[in-house]
Amino acid sequence: MKTLKKVFLTVLIFVSFTGWDGESGKEVAAERFLGKGDYLGDYWPTSGWRTCRPEEVGMSSEKLIKVYKYAAHPKINTQGIAVIRKGYIVGEGYFDDFTMNSRHESFSVAKSFASALIGIAIGKGLIKGVDELIAKYYPQWQTPETPETKKRMTIEDLLTMRSGLQWNEDDYYKDRSQNDVYIMIDSAKDYIQYVLNKPIIHEPGTHWYYSSGDSMLLSGVIEKSTGLTANEFGRKYLFEPLGLSEVIWLADPAGHTITAWGIQGTLREFAKFGYLYLRKGSWEDKQVVPRNWIEKSGQPVSEEVIKYGYQWWRLPALKNYETSRIPPDILIAWGIFTQQIFILPTEDLLIVRLGNDPDPYNDEWREIEFLTLVQDALIN
């Protein structure tokens, strides 16, 4: 009888700490998600991340299991997830064939990296400020034939996606032939030139709409102001200080770094970038990104456009944010197929989620619901 009770107890514990994927019949060990070890004080994860038991940094293991189970739902298509509190990984999980060492495409998360490089270049005096005119960096726009509206466009207009250039990215999932991203990839040898050739349909700074074209023009600004490609400049002043030497950043056929997407990194590498912003741009003994740039990046574009900053998303971008408990200072780097870096300074939290959802309109992944579960796991 005692043996039977032991078996029953073992099964009960195992079931309570595991998730079950009913569609594929795969059993997922949720207990492995939880961090192990002690909290050993502050450190910088340059050479690698430390893990610790959730309770060591004021989080509940039991409630973090709910976070894991939410992310592990088969309809959500999570490939990797990590919860980091006070610099320690307290929860980390991978799914299907994805592992800690797997490289994942950033998609538009790269836009936030590009924003950081603009901030670094300004901090070094290589760019005077966000009010600089784009035409300064592109001789193609310095001719008499160039519309005056193009000549009035600033770096800030690009950062906030208000260039006024004609751009269609809304039909990304519907009609490839009408989507500028697909057209650019399929037909353009020089992505920057493709964007420069687009007609301007609004006064710069007056209309917001999502445009990877605006982000791509930042690549040329970085090249012309620093004498290096965005990849080269980023590798020297961003990747190397953080210990991200293995990160890959793709270029277009003309050799321009694709600042709209194209970074390939592991979940833990993306987490380092998020941690840099969580620590206000500071890393070890250096101010890698100017602190005031970090703060400015999280400010809304305007009173009308409160969901976006300098190539970063803000709380109002999340559905049903009005009734949530999510702190308003949250910053989100966001790529298609739900690649997301959530930075919550108020709670000293960093969450990275990598996914591969074939349905971009899948409502199963609800950011507010997920983040609330993480908040519920906070003890102090």
Whether 29 is covered by a domain: the verdict is no
Out of 197-201, 277-281, 321-325, 359-363, which region has the weakest mean confidence (pLDDT)?
A: 359-363
Question: For residue 14, what pLDDT is reported?
Answer: 39
Whether 135 is covered by a domain: the verdict is yes
Is there a single domain that holds both residue 80 and residue 176? no
**Mean local confidence (pLDDT), 361-367:** 82
Has residue 295 got a pLDDT over 70? yes
Question: For the segment 126-152, what is each residue's pLDDT rounded down to a tens digit?
Answer: 999 999 999 999 999 999 999 999 999
Is there a single domain that holds both residue 250 and residue 371? no
Is there a single domain that holds both residue 260 and residue 368? no
Is there a single domain that holds both residue 111 and residue 212? yes
Q: In the chain, how many domains are there?
A: 2
Is there a single domain that holds both residue 146 and residue 254? yes
Whether 18 is covered by a domain: the verdict is no
Q: Of 312, 334, 350, which marks where a domain is finished?
A: 312
Is there a single domain that holds both residue 158 and residue 69? no
d(CA 232, CA 362): 37
Is there a single domain that holds both residue 71 and residue 172? no
Is there a single domain that holds both residue 187 and residue 238? yes
Question: For residue 364, what pLDDT is reported?
Answer: 83
Count CB neighbours of 366 within 10 A: 15
Where residue 278 sits, what CATH number does that domain have?
3.40.710.10
Whether 325 is covered by a domain: the verdict is no
pTM above 0.85, yes or no: yes
Is there a single domain that holds both residue 53 and residue 113? no
Whether 203 is covered by a domain: the verdict is yes
Is there a single domain that holds both residue 75 and residue 182? no
Question: For residue 29, what pLDDT is reported?
Answer: 58
Q: Are 158 and 200 in contact (CB under 8 A)?
A: no
Q: Of 312, 329, 350, which marks where a domain is finished?
A: 312
d(CA 236, CA 121): 12
Whether 342 is covered by a domain: the verdict is no
Is there a single domain that holds both residue 83 and residue 108? no
Question: For the segment 166-189, what is each residue's pLDDT rounded down to a tens digit?
Answer: 999 986 566 778 899 999 999 999
Q: Of 281, 312, 343, which marks where a domain is finished?
A: 312
- C-alpha separations of 147 from 133, 143, 151, 153, 204 in Å: 14, 9, 7, 11, 12
Q: Are 312 and 333 in contact (CB under 8 A)?
A: yes
Is there a single domain that holds both residue 93 and residue 122? no
- 28 pLDDT tier (thresholds 50, 70, 90): very low
Has residue 31 got a pLDDT over 90? no
Whether 280 is covered by a domain: the verdict is yes
> What residues make up the domain containing 60?
48-101+358-380
